[in-house]
Amino acid sequence: MRDPTAFLREEYEDLVKNELDWKLKILQGPSTPWCIVDGKKVLMFCSNNYLGLSNHPKLKEAAIKAVQTHGAGSGSVRPIAGNMDIHIELEKRLAKFKHAEASLVYQTGFAANAGLISQLASKGDLIISDELNHGSIIDGVRLSHAERAVYKHSNVQDLQRVLEETEKHQPPYMRILIITDGVFSMDGDIAPLDEIAELGAENGAMVYVDDAHGEGVLGESGRGIVSHFKLGRDKVHVEMGTFSKAFGVVGGHISGSKDLVNFAYNKSRTWLLSGSHPPAVAAACIAAIDVLENEPQHVQRLWENTRYFKQAMKDLGFDIGNSQTPITPVIVGESGVAKKLSTRLFEEGVFALPIVYPMVARDKARIRTIMNAALTQEDLDFAIGTFEKIGKEMHII
């Protein structure tokens, strides 16, 4: 009789054969500009820790204090006995920071998208999604029973075409939900949310933005893409985000109306049925908001570093795509080239991972670099010089 689990090894071995498997490296210590990875001291160039807050003394102090006052864990899901005062405080602080009526914290950003999108639309509804939206959005859409349509990446004219076609649908859709990433994680470009929101308003559609890579980066004091475009909550109905990137901790969240939050925590099973954050996590997230509100130099430094690195890479002749944010792809074409470039960078002291097919198109393999506010100009010059050396060695530039 055939082993019913044989497919596990077969599929994994197929991934290895085609060089599509993840080979995980080990970070031995905190996520800092210079860190120890697999026993080697390297410059961190691929972390989502945009502002360097994961090792900020105020966040660490808040986490330690919360363990002392509230313990190591909450002991339950929030609807039962795990709804601590520190969770409520975090949501109030987040809503104030976001200039929203209310906010709700999820265990992860993925849980927010998977748990909420699937409840916002159902049979008889339509979800319209950007073709390059994050996998967590795609899974949330799949979990719903709604019909779905996809528009060309950041193409407002194509979105309008889809919306015009929906008018012909019989019977008419009960709800229409437009979903987009705010900053697209592979290319670093920004969604035209102002135009998307306007089309949504004209067509009576809800607008949902995943701003995981925009928080701490865009807008006033890093408030995100809604702030960046100066949009009202009547135009963008769901602003989803995460504490695991610029905030330097972990967790997902949504901000919007009180009606949205009341609906979400009663309907989202990823929220209802998952244990709540340990007190240390919630406290560190609150401290991260404090830092963003009171230490603007981190966001300023992030953008100074971003501009410096982008210009230097352009001047060297690297293809960095159409990035508008600290996510800067170094596009080299073939997957094998990207993997070799990543290996050589690591050997020379720069930790930056390759992004290859199927995560990007076959001819768009790249090294995805992510800028950090904690990097010094000396650090940047080291990275730029290393890219130049290996780029010439491999005949990329």
Two tokens, residue 307: 């501009």
Confidence of residue 384 (pLDDT cuts 50, 70, 90): very high
CATH number listed for the domain at residues 57-294: 3.40.640.10
pLDDT band of 116, cuts 50, 70, 90: very high
Average pLDDT, the chain: 95
pLDDT of residue 148: 96
| Domain residue extents for the chain | 10-44+296-393, 57-294
Task: Give the separation between CA 210 and CA 253, rounded to whole angstroms.
Answer: 10
Residues noted as catalytic: 185, 213, 245
**Measured CA distances, 359 to 185, 187, 341, 364, 373 (Å):** 11, 11, 17, 10, 27
Average pLDDT over residues 25-37: 96
Domain 10-44+296-393 has CATH 1.10.287.990: no
Q: According to the model, what pLDDT value does residue 22 have?
A: 81
pLDDT number for residue 192: 98
For 131-174, how does the pLDDT look when each residue is reduced to its tens digit (9 = 90+)?
999 999 999 999 999 999 999 999 999 999 999 999 889 999 99
The DSSP code sequence of 41-63 is EEEE-S-S-TTSGGG-HHHHHHH
Q: What is the pLDDT of residue 388?
A: 98
Distances (CA, A) of 366 to 65, 77, 131, 232, 236: 42, 40, 19, 36, 32
H helices present in the chain, as ranges: 6-17, 57-70, 85-98, 109-120, 135-143, 156-166, 193-202, 225-228, 258-267, 269-272, 279-294, 297-316, 335-348, 377-393
Mention every residue, 6+ apart, whose C-beta is less than 8 A from residue 49. Answer: 31, 245, 246, 248, 372
pLDDT classification of 21: cutoffs 50, 70, 90? confident
20 pLDDT above the threshold of 80: no
Average pLDDT score over residue span 37-44: 97
pLDDT score, position 17: 86
Q: What is the pLDDT of residue 359?
A: 81
Q: Which pLDDT value is given to residue 375?
A: 97
- The pLDDT of residue 217 is 97
